[in-house]
Amino acid sequence: MRHNPTKEQRERLLSRNGRMCCVCKEFGVGLQIHHIDGDHSNTVDDNLAVLCVTDHDAHHRPGQYPARHVELGAAEILRYKREWEEFIRETKLPTPRLMATISMYGNLEIIHSVKTTYQWTDGRVAFERVYHLHSGTMDEWTTNIVDESVRIGRNIPLVCLSEPFDVSHCPCCHRSVSNVIDRGYGLRLAAPNWDKASTGSIYINPEVPSLALNFALEERSIFSGHLHLCQGTHLHFRCDDYEERRPLKRHPSVRNQATDFIKNLVGDWNPAVLYIGTGDHDRPHLIDDLWLPRCWETRSAGSTPVSENVDQRNPRSRR
């Protein structure tokens, strides 16, 4: 026997889903309550998904919507439901583990589109919106982005990436690929007490050209990395989320290039307290500034020498 959701149950499910389809995340469209397992007598909250008319139809007519990564079978709908309701629960918290990343596309002369990506601080994407010149003006995009962020969760921070990107596409569905904030830096941006409870530490190896750094929040490590001089030709940086090999320039000195690299990282993370140590790895002594030993100027055989003029007292820093 078919049992339809009660009025109170429907309202509860709509609220748990932010009055949006749990699959496409559209708002302001016709929404239906779907029995996930196909049993219309099993009308319990865990078996009911909020779907828009289009996605409900896509489930019942498989193969008719080819521009998708997956078909909307029962397992996929259940996954969408759980992930989306988890996201909506998080939006209601005072300090949600979420952020909205705003990416611009085009060049400095004209921005032809903007994408807002709602993501978890660990890098998982919840959903995204795309705005382009054919759908309105930049002023209208801005209004829509702010209105949606307020409607979904006032405590979700908005992060605008500073430079425009080129558009890259997924080879499967041909949709544009999203830009997300790395796991560690996402936690840094979402933390309301970063300016008071964060710490940074740098350990400088006094014997070989290498150093390690770590950033923590309330004694919980959220980012760690290691920089070393690679074969006398590159600065090689490796961290939790990415790896970078930066060719050395003729000027300034290797030590200044390495110092600039680390100072820029510290400036980006901007911890409340920064500790710099060297000497014995187990019992390092603290120093006042990022002074690197002369072993950083050692070059491999056949490499081009680099200027030895080193001014470490006022290294360039980006804040």
Distances (CA, A) of 285 to 201, 273, 291, 313: 12, 16, 13, 19
Task: Answer yes or no: is pLDDT of 302 > 60.
Answer: no
* Same-domain status, 202 and 217: yes
- The answer to the question of residue 41 being in a domain is yes
Confidence band, pLDDT 50/70/90 cuts, at residue 45: very high
Q: What are phi and psi of 133, to 5 degrees?
A: -60, -25
Confidence band, pLDDT 50/70/90 cuts, at residue 319: very low
Task: Answer yes or no: is pLDDT of 293 > 50.
Answer: yes
* Same-domain status, 197 and 285: yes
Closest among 290, 294, 280 to 312, alpha carbons compared: 290
Task: Answer yes or no: is pLDDT of 7 > 50.
Answer: yes
Domain end point (choices 42, 72, 91): 91
Please state the domain count of the chain: 3
Task: Answer yes or no: is pLDDT of 59 > 90.
Answer: no
CATH code at position 113: 3.30.420
* Same-domain status, 204 and 181: no
Written as six digits, the tokens of 183 are: 């796991």
Q: Rounded to two decimals, what is the model's pTM?
A: 0.65
CA angle 55, 57, 59 (to 5 degrees): 70
Query: Which residue carries 């350990």 as its tokens?
Result: 203
Tell which wins on pLDDT, 110 or 89: 89
Range of the domain at 263: 193-297
Q: Is 158 helix (H, G, I), strand (E, B) or coil?
A: strand
- The answer to the question of residue 24 being in a domain is yes
**pLDDT, average across residues 308-319:** 32
- The answer to the question of residue 269 being in a domain is yes
**pLDDT, average across residues 236-250:** 87
- The answer to the question of residue 318 being in a domain is no
